[in-house]
Amino acid sequence: MPATSRHALVTGGNRGIGLGVAARLLADGYDVTVTSRSGTLGDDAPAGLRVVACDVTDPASVDAAFTEAEAAAGPVHVLVANAGITSDGLLMRMGEEEFGSVVDTNLAGAWRVLKRASTGMIRARYGRVVLVGSVVGLYGGPGQANYAASKAGLVGLARSVTRELGGRGITVNVVAPGFIGTDMTASLDEARQATYLQAIPAGRFGAVDDVAAAVSFLVSEQAGYVSGAVVPVDGGLGMGH
């Protein structure tokens, strides 16, 4: 089936990495639905993107978003679970709310959308899933115990579902971006940004297009024998972590 007849859904596709991925998949020929919490898109979104409202921490909202997207464009063949947040703080100062909200959004949120998407993929005997992790998931980051734990959890999620559904034409992979210039990284202090830059062999921060290119390959028909992988897009920062 050509990409033109495939339906791709990107959570948090209204800005940052998600928007870059959605724009790339649109250019690749997919019928693309993105989610945002408001159910709207900014002026920078390319024409042709469909948007539905979704809060990945709310199972009813996830179900409603998929139902609306499926009514408009049929079953979801390609899922990019990208929605994510940070709430940094050192271990001793991190509260239940900071830990719980990050894990609930980044890890449980990805599990909710993957579970909902899997029904249609199993029926179609075809699916491409990319979970957006982070180099920090396996590298660790001071002040990011909640975030790193949530992103490390995505690896176990992807690998377990690969074992469950790998025989049904469904692949589940993790892309692990390094330091990509978006709203999320703009909130990091200058000292942290300088430390990361020094450690990146590529000598630069990444762009959303760097991540989008990796996702584009992983969701392609040709990538059918790549599953349970963690694909770094970090300029060499994590070096195989």
Q: Which residues pair with 167 in a beta bridge?
A: none
Residues paired with residue 177 on neighbouring β-strands, in sequence order: 233
87 binds ligand NDP (CB under 6 A): no
Q: If binding is defined by CB under 6 A, does position 185 make contact with ligand NDP? A: yes
17 forms part of the interface with ligand NDP (CB under 6 A)? yes
Whole-angstrom distance, CA of residue 143 vs CA of residue 87: 9
129: contact with ligand NDP by CB under 6 A: no
**Cβ-contact 32, 77 below 8 angstroms:** no
Q: Report, in Å, the least distance between residue 123 CB and ligand NDP.
A: 25
Q: What is the CA radius of gyration of the chain?
A: 17
Contacts with ligand NDP by CB under 6 A: the residue count is 28
177 binds ligand NDP (CB under 6 A): yes
- 179 forms part of the interface with ligand NDP (CB under 6 A): yes
SS3 181: coil
Do the Cβ atoms of 231 and 174 come closer than 8 Å? yes
Angle at 53 between CA 217 and CA 45, to 5 degrees: 55
CB of 153 to ligand NDP, least distance (A): 12
Residue 85 identity: I
Q: Which residues are catalytic?
A: 147
Distance separating alpha carbons of residues 178 and 135, to the nearest angstrom: 5
CB nearer ligand NDP, residue 126 or residue 196? 196
Q: Does 132 bind ligand NDP (CB under 6 A)?
A: yes
Interface mask (CB under 6 A) for ligand NDP, residues 200-239, using x and -?
A: ----------------------------------------
Residue 41 touches ligand NDP, criterion: CB under 6 A: no
User: What's the start-to-end Cα distance of the chain, in Å?
Assistant: 35
The residues of the shown chain that bind ligand NDP, judged by CB under 6 A, are 11-12, 14-18, 36-38, 54-57, 82-85, 105, 132, 134, 177, 179-180, 182-185
